[in-house]
Amino acid sequence: MGYRSNFLLTAKPMTEDLYQRISDELKQYVPFIMCECMEDGAGVWLNEDDTWYSCQSDMIQLSKDFPDTFFELSVEGENHNDDWRAYFSDGKYQVNDALRLFWPFIPSELREDHSDEDALDYAGCVRLEHLKVTRAAIYHSLRILLAKDEKDFPWDENLIQAAEAMCREFLTSKGFAVPAAEQPDGKQEKDGGNDDEREKT
C-alpha cells in the first residue's frame, strides 16, 4: 500500500500552451492525475491518496525545465500533522511545515448553547469567523513575540482590541485599505480603531 498523501500543485503565470507542456511532463512523474485544469490564470493539478515519494526531486526538475513558472505544492499526509507546502522556482525550493495553533481560550465566550450563533445569517457567520481569526492571529503573534506559553499569557480582550486597532492604524498609514472592524451583527466597533480612518478605506 505505502504511505498515502493528497497533493495539490499550482503553477503561474500560465497560458494554455504552457499548461499543456507542464501537464505532459508532470505525467512522466505522476502517471495518473485525478483532476487538472486552469483556474484564475494558474494551472492546477490534484491527486488524492497517492504515493508520490519523489515529489520534491521531481518538482525541482520540473521547475528547472520551466524556469519562468512559480510552482506551489501543498501536501496532506495520512499521518496526523504531516501537512506541508513547498515552493519551486528555477530549480530552487523551499519547504514549510504547517504551523498548528489552537484557538485561544476566551472566558467571555463560554456559553450554554449555540443559540447566539444559530441566530446569525450567513454574512454574520462570515463576519464572526473573520473577527475570530483576526484576533486569534493577533493573540498568538503577541504571545510568540513575548516568548510566552498560553497558560502564561491569558486572553485579554482589551489588550487584543488595542493591538488590533494599532495594526489597523499602521497598515492604513502604509497605504493599505483595511476592512472595517465589524461585529457579527454588522455594526462597526466603536473601540476597534479610528472611525475617520475606517471611513477612508
| Residue 26 banded pLDDT, cuts 50, 70, 90 | very high
Residue 198 has pLDDT above 80, yes or no: no
118 and 192 within one domain: yes
Per-residue pLDDT of 42-98, as tens digits, reads: 999 999 988 999 999 999 999 999 999 999 999 999 887 889 999 999 999 999 999
Contact 97, 50 (CB under 8 A): no
What pLDDT does 34 receive? Answer: 92
What pLDDT does 119 receive? Answer: 62
Q: Is 63 exposed, middle or buried (0-12, 13-18, 19+ CB in 10 A)?
A: buried
What pLDDT does 114 receive? Answer: 64
| Residue 1 banded pLDDT, cuts 50, 70, 90 | low
Is 37 a domain residue? yes
Give the whole-angstrom CA distance, residue 88 versus residue 93: 4
What pLDDT does 81 receive? Answer: 80
Please give the tally of structural domains in the chain.
2
- Domain membership of residue 53 as a residue range: 5-97
Q: How many CA atoms lie within 13 A of 24 on its CB side?
A: 8
Is 160 a domain residue? yes
Per-residue pLDDT of 155-177, as tens digits, reads: 999 999 999 999 999 999 999 99
127 and 47 within one domain: no
Last residue of a domain, one of 97, 130, 163: 97
CATH number at 45 reads: 3.30.70.240
Per-residue pLDDT of 97-141, as tens digits, reads: 998 888 888 888 887 776 665 666 777 788 778 888 999 999 999
Give the whole-angstrom CA distance, residue 164 versus residue 158: 10
Q: Is the pTM of this model over 0.75?
A: no
